[in-house]
Amino acid sequence: MALNFYPKKRMILECDFHDFKEPEITKKRPVVVISCSRARPGLCIVVPISRTPPQKLEAWHHPFSRASSWDRQKRWAKCDMIYTVSYDRLDRWKKGRDRRTGKRIYLSNFYISQEDFESIKAGMSAALGLKI
């Protein structure tokens, strides 16, 4: 898996959360990159994305706008589940396979909108009890 490039803010990637323990996420899931710093080589802060709507809508749940949709499915950022993960857990998001060649198709260089990113940061602040 492991990325062979430096991820950037707002980028959508896939994160392998296997080996985590419940109630943490324990499967592969799309994430949005919040921060990567060259001061912390090989580590990246991410927020997971889910297709399951929250049972009770809270300030730390963010529904993505159409501008940030890559496959027309409604998705939610879970801003209360902030992770610092190794690049070894990250890869490009797999969209499927080419019917003709059988090769994987990746979501390459896809970034969420700046407005969605600002809302995610606000949701993270709410989850952490910080004032912005």
Tens of pLDDT, residue by residue over 7-42, are: 999 999 999 999 999 998 989 999 999 998 878 888
Amino acid at site 42? G
What is the rounded distance in angstroms from the CA atom of residue 114 to the CA atom of residue 21? 32
Per DSSP, the three-state class of 116 is helix
Q: How far apart are the first and last CA of the chain?
A: 36
The reported pTM is: 0.89
Confidence of residue 1 (pLDDT cuts 50, 70, 90): low
CATH code of the domain occupying 12-128: 2.30.30.110
Task: Answer whether 57's CB lies under 8 Å from 39's CB.
Answer: no
Task: Answer whether 106's CB lies under 8 Å from 65's CB.
Answer: no
Considering only CA atoms, which of 126, 119, 73, 94 is closest in space to residue 28? 94
pLDDT at 132 over 70: no
pLDDT, mean of residues 56-62: 95
pLDDT at 75 over 80: yes
Beta-bridge mates of residue 105? 96
